[in-house]
Amino acid sequence: MPVHNADIAAVFEEIADLLEIEAANPFRIRAYRNAARVTGEWGRDLREMVEKGEDLTRLPGIGHDLALKIQEIVRTGHCAFLDRLHGELPPAITELLHIPGLGPKRVRALYQELHVQTPDDLLRAAREGRIRTLPGFAEKTEQHILQAVEAHTTKKKRFRLAVAEQYADALAGYLRRLPGVERVEVAGSFRRRKETVGDIDLLAIAEDGPAVMQRFAGYDEVAEVLSAGDTRGSALLRCGLQADLRVVPRESFGAALHYFTGSKAHNIAVRRLAQNKGLKINEYGVYRGKTQIAGDTEESVYAAVGLPYISPELREERGEIEAARAGRLPRLVELADLRGDLHCHTSASDGHNTLGEMAEAARALGLEYLAITDHAARSGAGHSLTPTELLRQMDEIDRLNGELDGLVLLKGAEVEILEDGRLDLPDEALDRLDVVVGAVHSHFNLSRAKQTARVLRTLDHPALILLAHPSARLLGEREAADLDMAAVIRRAKERGCFLELDAQPARLDLDDLHCQMAKAEGVLVSIDSDAHSVRDFANRTYGVGQARRGWLEKGDVLNTRSLAELLPLIKKRTH
C-alpha cells in the first residue's frame, strides 16, 4: 500500500508519545518528535526516495536507526518498534494525549493510579470525582478534564490542510490516470483552503461512471467502502479521512463544483438570488423551468444570478455576495506577490540549515529580502542565542550581504514575550536588530485580561516590529490563548506594529477572521514561512490561502512591498 510522508510522521509521533508515557530518555523522545516533524514536512516523497535507494541520513536529524525505520515503514506499512511499544501499553492510551490539558506525565499518573486507559475510562473517573484525589490534580483540574474529554468524544476528527493535501492529491492523481477520465477536481473545505479538513470531496467527468467507481473502491488506500453506486460512492481511507466521489456530466460540472465546494451558507445565499430571478440551482445546473441555462462552468452559475466569479476562499457568507453585487470583491493576494520573508530560523537555533543555505534557498525562490530571526534570549536557554551569539550572527549577516547578489538579509530575532509582557533580550541588543519578532511560547493559560495586558505591553516596546503567530495556537494540539484580539489589533495600529500570519501548517495564525479585522483597521499582515529548513519556504502557499480567506489583498500584506518600501515601515520607534 502507498505510504505518505504523513503516515511516517504519524508513526514517529506515536512512538514519541508512548515513550513519554513510559518516562523514557528525554533525548530519545526528542529525536522521534524531531523525526516526525522532519518527515511530515519534507518536501519530497520519502517513499520515492526509498525506492530510489537514496541516503535518508541526509535528512536533518535522521540517523542510521531512524533511516532504517523509514525504510521499514515504506516497505511494510508497519514499524516493529511501535508494535513492541503497543504490546507494553494499552492500545488506546495515546488517544488520551489528544485531550487538551493532558500531557504524558498526567496520562502516566492516570494510568498507574486509576487504571485509566481510554477516553471513556477518563470520563467515568472525572464524573466520579476520582481524578481530584491524585497528587497534582485539583477539583478545578478535574472539571477542565471533564469538559475537554466530553468535547473530544463528540468532535469529528479533522486533518490539517497540509496533511489532507497529501491524501487528496494522491487520490485525485490516481483518478486522473484512469482510462476515460476527462477531469477530476477536489472540492469542499479543501478547495476553500480551510485550515483543517474533515473529508475529501472529489468530482470527475468520465465516459464510464460505473468503471470509475469500481476503480475508486479498489484504490490501495481504501480501508472500507461506505457506499457504492454507478456515479457516486464513499470510502474511508486508512488514514481516517472519508473520501466522497461523484461522476457528473460535462454540462453539469460547474454547477456540481460550485455546490460541493460550499460553504452551505454561501450556496443558500446564491440559491436565494436565483429564486428571486425565477431560477433554480442545484448540483446539476441552473434551470429556468425544466431548461438548463447554465452549469457547465462555475462562472456561468454566478453569471446566471448576476454575479461575477467568487473565489472559493471567500465562499463563507461573510459579505462576499454583497461585495460581488457592488463590484467590490477584493483582488486577493497571490504567492507571487510576496517579495520577502520576515521570519525564519537557521541551525544556529532550532533550524536545520545554515545561514548561507537559507539565504541561497530564498534567493532561488526570487525573494528580495529575508529576515533571519533565530530564537534569542538573555540566558540562551534551549535553542536560543545569547546576546553575544546574536551579535556574532549579525557580523556574519553583514559578511554575507557583501557577497550575495539579488537578496538582502535583515538582522532579526524571535524574542520570547515573558509573562509580564517584557521582551527577553536587553534593549541594547534589540536596538541593533532590523526586525524584532515577539512571540508567546509559554503561559498559554493566563486569564483573558492578563494575556491581553501581556501582549499589549509588548506592543508598546519601541523595538517590536512584528507580533508572531499572535494567538499561539497549534491546530489540533493547543487552543488559541484567550486574547482580546480586537484590542491587540487596535494597539498594533496605534504603535505602528505589524501582525504575522505564520504559514506553518500547524499554526496558520492569524486566523481568517482576525485577518479581516486587521484589514478593516488598516494593520498590515506579514505572511511568513517560519521556515526551519530550506524546504519550509513552501509553507508560504498555506499562508497565502489563509490570507485569501481573510480577504487580504496585495496592499494589505507587509511583505509584498519592495525592500525600499519596507525599510521605512520597519524603522525603529524612539524609546
pLDDT tens for the chain, 575 residues: list them: 679 999 999 999 989 988 988 889 999 999 999 999 899 888 889 999 999 999 999 998 899 999 999 999 999 988 999 999 988 887 778 788 878 778 788 888 898 889 888 888 898 999 999 999 998 888 888 888 888 888 777 667 889 999 999 999 999 999 999 999 999 999 999 999 999 999 999 999 999 999 999 999 999 999 999 999 999 999 999 999 999 999 999 999 999 999 999 999 999 999 999 999 999 999 999 999 999 999 999 999 999 999 999 999 999 999 999 999 999 999 999 999 999 999 999 999 999 899 999 999 999 999 999 999 999 998 777 789 999 999 999 999 999 999 999 999 999 999 999 999 999 999 999 999 999 999 999 999 899 999 999 999 999 999 999 999 999 999 988 889 999 999 999 999 999 999 999 999 999 999 999 999 999 999 999 999 999 999 999 999 999 999 999 999 999 999 999 999 999 999 865 44
Q: 399: which DSSP letter? A: H
Q: 509: which DSSP letter? A: B
Distances (CA, A) of 416 to 223, 455, 492, 501: 45, 11, 18, 17
Give the DSSP H or E segment for 281. Answer: strand 280-282
* Domains 159-247 and 252-325 agree in fold: no
DSSP codes, 409-448: EEEEEEEEB-TTS-BSS-HHHHTT-SEEEEE--S-TT--H
User: What pLDDT does residue 287 have?
Assistant: 97
Burial 72-92 (b: 16+ CB within 10 A, else e): bbbeeeebebbeebbeebbee
Counted residue by residue, the chain has a size of: 575
Is the domain spanning 335-569 CATH 3.20.20.140? The answer is yes
User: What pLDDT does residue 574 have?
Assistant: 45
For domain 252-325, the CATH architecture is 2-Layer Sandwich (3.30)
CB 200 within 8 A of CB 243: yes
Pairing of strands 466-467, 498-502: parallel
User: What pLDDT does residue 573 have?
Assistant: 56
Tell me the Cα Rg of the chain: 25
Give the number of other CB atoms < 10 A from CB of residue 382. 11
DSSP codes, 317-383: SSSHHHHHHTT----B--GGG--EES-B--TTTT-SS-HHHHHHHHHHTT-SEEEE--EE-SS--TT
**What sign has the CA pseudo-torsion 5, 8, 14, 18?**
negative
User: What pLDDT does residue 141 have?
Assistant: 86
User: What pLDDT does residue 563 have?
Assistant: 97
Closest CA to 484 of 437, 449, 510: 449
pTM of this structure: 0.85
Q: Which amino acid is at 124?
A: R
Burial 111-130 (b: 16+ CB within 10 A, else e): beebebbebebbbebbeeeb
Pick the CATH number of 5-154 from 1.10.150.110, 3.40.50.300, 1.10.260.40, 3.90.1280.10: 1.10.150.110
Q: Which is the CATH superfamily of the domain at 159-247?
A: Beta Polymerase, domain 2 (3.30.460.10)
Q: Grid coordinates in use for 203?
A: 468530482
Pairing of strands 232-237, 242-247: antiparallel
Domain boundaries along the sequence of the chain: 5-154, 159-247, 252-325, 335-569
User: What pLDDT does residue 136 have?
Assistant: 83
Q: Which amino acid is at 211?
A: A
Residue spans of alpha helices (H) in 42-178: 46-51, 64-76, 80-88, 104-114, 119-127, 139-154, 161-176
User: What pLDDT does residue 575 have?
Assistant: 43
Q: How far is CA 435 from the centre of its chain?
A: 24
CB 508 within 8 A of CB 537: no
